[in-house]
A = this chain, B = another copy of it.
Amino acid sequence: MFESAELGHTIDKETYKQEIPALREALLDAQYDLAELKKFPVIILIGGVDGAGKGETANLLNEWMDPRNIHTHAFGQPSDEEAERPHMWRYWRALPPKGKIGINFGSWYTDPIIKRAYGEIKNEGLTKALDEIVRFEKMLTDEGALVLKFWFHLSREKQKNRLDKLEKDPHTRWRVTDLDKKHLKMYDEFRTISEHVLRETSTAAAPWIIVEGYDANYRNLTVGKQLLEAMRKRLDTPESKVHIASAPPLIAPVDSLHILSKLDLSKKIDKKEYEQKLEDFQGKLNTLTRDPRFKKISVVCVFEGSDAAGKGGSIRRITQAIDARIFSVNPIAAPTEEERAQPYLWRFWRHVPRHGRVTVFDRSWYGRVLVERVEGFCSEYDWMRAYGEINDFEEQLSRKQFVVVKFWLQISKEEQLRRFEERKSIAFKRFKITEEDWRNREKWESYEMAVCDMIDRTSTDYAPWTIIEANDKNFARIKILKTLCDRIEKILDQIKPEK
């Protein structure tokens, strides 16, 4: 893969001087259109061997274009706020909104490559990491982002030569670190691993662009032209033509047997038993969250369910048992303007808690495959890809010691009607029934189908769905508390107490 990047590409000074002014103008124009239209973000990754001009390129792009619409991020040691969240959190946090350019210097590729070179992970671990990256970048491009990945390459001789040069000049000596020298000695390992990484992650939507890094004129002109072409092409393509992907339609089970129809909604619990169990489980939940090992895990609780299924009441039975200082409840409403300028999952990533905390989502990222699907708020392709994206998200959480508990609260159509009528007769404003509630009711069957598909496609080992028979509120609340306690207990048991 690196053959073309070892040919000794150069551009002479005269040609360079001639080409640059027009290129800069065109880049500025493209950047202006990007900022004006705010249709997509541009994400530029800069990777490659040391001394091949990575830093210079980041600076150059900032110099050529308007730095006010570029965010450059270098990812070094994670901060403590980052270290207690899934490793992708810091990259989500740094995503540019639509209309802006983000330059990632040291990206999600750095860790897997370094770890493999140092033998901290094996090939299997690397494959898994790369697979995740491909899925992540697919999500970004599906969300409309323009992703440009530049890899700056140098042959071993050229790299040595470059580092020697830098070291000789007193003005640049500081740039050559001991780590650079160590990595030069590992040139072959890095080359083999990088080639593998580039091959596995070069996709149609986000291909790698390998640039020989020795001659600055050649490097700059290549990057500039490539960026210009990519931006211009995307800017000049009508939005309707950008996504042509389509998804095969999902159909209802031909025998109309599904998970929800098999539920026994008559399950009940009597008042006395309820009160005893409520006390027991709330006490247990409280004890679990005060366990010293709880500081090493997080809990993310998702509540979904039909209107009037009792989500709010169930959530309160949980929060009652936990110290207010460690929980937060996020009711999910329409996205804000800043959220709409980002990929779909961004607004949930921003609420991912640190360790030692419980975050409850009252409705969640599943809106995409429920209401947005049923009401046609997004395309079929968009909600179809959401299943996989959500699974990836939850896997990353669970790998970072997050308990992901998901409840679907199901009531019967008759019970919903009864609750609606009851609410109508209650004076409290907060219980008002809106037109929308009645309208949703008319789509009962479409929602049921969406729920069944959701459970089939997103109930995983690491983040299973628990379906709650919720016609009896007390039964529902106890089942929820018990499930939550069990899940937390299980993960705590795997952690050794500190001496």
Contacts from A to B (Cβ < 8 Å): 25, 28-29, 32-33, 36, 55, 58-59, 61-63, 66-74, 79-81, 103, 105, 174, 290, 312, 315-316, 319-320, 323-331, 336-338, 362, 428-430
Contact = CB atoms under 8 A, between A and B. Distances in A.
A329 B325 CA distance: 35
Contacts of A330: 68
B58 A325 contact: yes
* Interface-central residue, A29, A55, A73, A80, by most chain B CB under 10 Å: A80
A329 B68 contact: yes
A279 to B, nearest CB: 13
A79 B328 CA distance: 19
Contacts of A67: 315-316, 319, 324, 327, 329
B28 A430 contact: yes
A74 B325 contact: yes
Nearest to A175: B290
A72 B33 CA distance: 43
A63 B320 contact: yes
A59 B330 CA distance: 17
Contacts of A103: 324
Contacts of A62: 319-320, 324
21 contacts: A28-B428, A29-B428, A29-B430, A32-B428, A55-B323, A55-B324, A55-B325, A62-B319, A63-B319, A63-B320, A66-B430, A67-B316, A67-B319, A68-B312, A71-B328, A72-B324, A72-B328, A79-B80, A80-B80, A105-B325, A337-B338
A331 B69 CA distance: 8
A83 B73 CA distance: 20
Contacts of A337: 336-338
A32 B68 contact: no
Contacts of A81: 79-81
Contacts of A338: 336-338
A381 B26 CA distance: 46
Nearest to A174: B290
B329 A25 contact: no
A81 to B, nearest CB: 5
Given A62-B319, A81-B81, A337-B337, 17 more contacts: A29-B429, A29-B430, A32-B428, A33-B429, A55-B324, A58-B323, A62-B324, A66-B316, A67-B315, A67-B316, A67-B329, A68-B315, A68-B331, A70-B324, A72-B327, A73-B325, A174-B290
A337 to B, nearest CB: 5
Contacts of A428: 25, 28-29, 32
A174 B336 CA distance: 42
A328 B74 CA distance: 12
Given A72-B325, A337-B336, A429-B29, A312 B59 contact: no
Contacts of A28: 428, 430
Q: Which 10 A-B pairs have the closest CB atoms?
A: A74-B325, A72-B324, A32-B430, A68-B331, A58-B324, A62-B324, A68-B329, A67-B319, A67-B329, A337-B337
A315 B65 CA distance: 12
Contacts of A312: 66, 68
A312 B327 CA distance: 45
Nearest to A354: B79
* Interface-central residue, A62, A336, A337, by most chain B CB under 10 Å: A62
